[in-house]
Amino acid sequence: MTESTDTDIRDALLAYTGDEPPLPFGYEQVVTAGRRVRRRRRAAAAAAGSLVFVAVAGVAVTGLPHDPAPFAVGGPSWPALDPAPFCAAAAAPPSTPAIAPTTVVRDLNDYRVRIPVEPADHAAARLSCRLATVVPPLLPGFRFHLIPGAPEDGLPLRVEPAQVFDPAQPQTTLPVFSAGALVSDDEGVGEIGFGAWPAGETVAEATANCAGCEVRTGPDGATVLIDVMTGDAGLRTVNVWVHRADTVTFATTSNAVPDPATDADRQEVGRPDPPLTLDQLVRLAAAPELTLFP
């Protein structure tokens, strides 16, 4: 598998569909720096547990957390997000046909993956409606920015079908949805990201493969896996996976300034703490509204 820091959340979430063995759904993409940090902090932990959100290049930042000069993130910014267009699209009937009920047996682990029948564009609108509604109130005073490398017509936290299921290529097109944003306030800049995909392993397998992760029981008996990574100079990334029935949701937050030329554990610290707290990430990822099987 590729262990690269110059990837965004889509590349990371897509890693599980690769041909290389044998880690299960959602855990194949572990950046080298994440492994290094975990070995250094928890020498007994195997480095195969996390899926790290790292943005690609393109952020212009001035100032440091100890510097009174404000941060400046290049490109457009939004003081608020409007969920109305997404919610309207989600409330309307799908404009594309539903996917025929399908189950794919994964070559990697023989797990029977249930494919969502909701059209990808409709699911993306529904998930975008949820994120654009509930995330901004958790970040009062923040401005929202595009993840570097996003299309010019992109919007922060707009969920995109990072991969759309193709029944002609079922093993390599298992569906993935992702969204992300840079956020900034007077304290600096950080990252937030979200993902969702159909479960491709048992909860027991997921727990076993999330080396060193904290395991919690979430709402309605969902299994919550938590990985907190710390690096130099106060760098901190928090990753949360929630396994609920046939859906896995992912949420991440970091106080890093993204720089693909730098290892993930040595990136510049953009603010004292990640923009979202661990408890906020868990509540967001555990919301039943993020299911892929409404």
- The model's pLDDT over 8-26, given as tens digits with 9 standing for 90+, comes to 444 444 443 333 332 233 3
Contacts of 157 (CB under 8 A, 6+ apart): 81, 128, 131, 132, 135, 144, 179, 180, 181, 192, 194
101 located within any domain: yes
Q: Quick check: helix, strand or coil at residue 290?
A: helix
> 284 pLDDT exceeds 90?
yes
Q: Is 233 left (phi over 0), alpha (psi -120 to 50) or beta?
A: left
pLDDT digits (tens, 9 = 90+) for 48-68: 222 232 332 233 333 333 343
239 touches 50 (CB < 8 A) = yes
Residue 6: what pLDDT? 29
**pLDDT of 44 over the 50 cut:** no
Residue 1 lies in a domain: no
User: Is position 104 within any domain?
Assistant: yes
Q: 58 or 214, which is more confident?
A: 214
Q: What pLDDT sits at residue 73?
A: 76
Peptide bond into 22 cis (omega under 30): yes
Instruction: Pick the more confident residue, 152 or 187.
Output: 187
Q: How confident is the model at residue 138 (pLDDT cuts 50, 70, 90)?
A: very high
> Residue 258: which domain range?
9-63+70-290
Q: In this predicted model, which residue has the larger pLDDT, 74 or 184? A: 184
Q: Residue 37: which of 267, 208, 279 has the closest Cα?
A: 267
DSSP 68-121: SSPP--SS-EESS---HHHHHHHHSPPSSPPPPPEEEE-TTT--EEEEP-S-HH
Average pLDDT estimate for 168-179: 92
Helix, strand, coil share of the chain (percent; to 5): 25, 25, 50
Residue 3 has pLDDT above 50, yes or no: no
Which of 172, 210, 183 is CA-nearest to residue 52? 210
Residue 221 maps to a domain: yes
Q: Where is pLDDT greater, at 151 or 250? A: 250
Mean pLDDT of 250-268: 77
Q: What is the pLDDT of residues 234-245, one digit of tens each?
A: 889 999 999 999
Residue with more model confidence, 75 or 216: 216
To the nearest 10 degrees (0 to 180), the angle between helices 84-91 and 120-134 is 140
Half-sphere exposure of 244 (CA within 13 A, CB side): 24
What was the pLDDT predicted at 256?
87
Least confident residue range of 74-78, 122-126, 220-224, 274-278: 74-78
Residue 40 forms part of a structural domain: yes
Calpha distance 210→284 (Å, rounded): 20
**Domain total in the chain:** 1
Contact 125, 90 (CB under 8 A): yes
Residue 4 lies in a domain: no
Burial label for 179, CB within 10 Å (0-12, 13-18, 19+), is buried
| Lowest model confidence (mean pLDDT) among 21-35, 65-79, 135-149, 275-289 | 21-35
pTM for the model? 0.79
pLDDT at 51: 27
Any domain includes 276: yes
Across the range 253-262, mean pLDDT stands at: 76
Q: Is residue 2 part of a domain?
A: no
Q: Which residues is 112 bridged to in the sheet?
A: 105
Work out the burial of residue 60: count CB atoms within 10 Å of its CB; fewer than 13 is exposed, 13-18 middle, 19 or more buried. exposed
pLDDT at 231: 82
**pLDDT, average across residues 64-80:** 63
Mean pLDDT estimate for the chain: 78
Element (H, E) at 241: strand 236-244
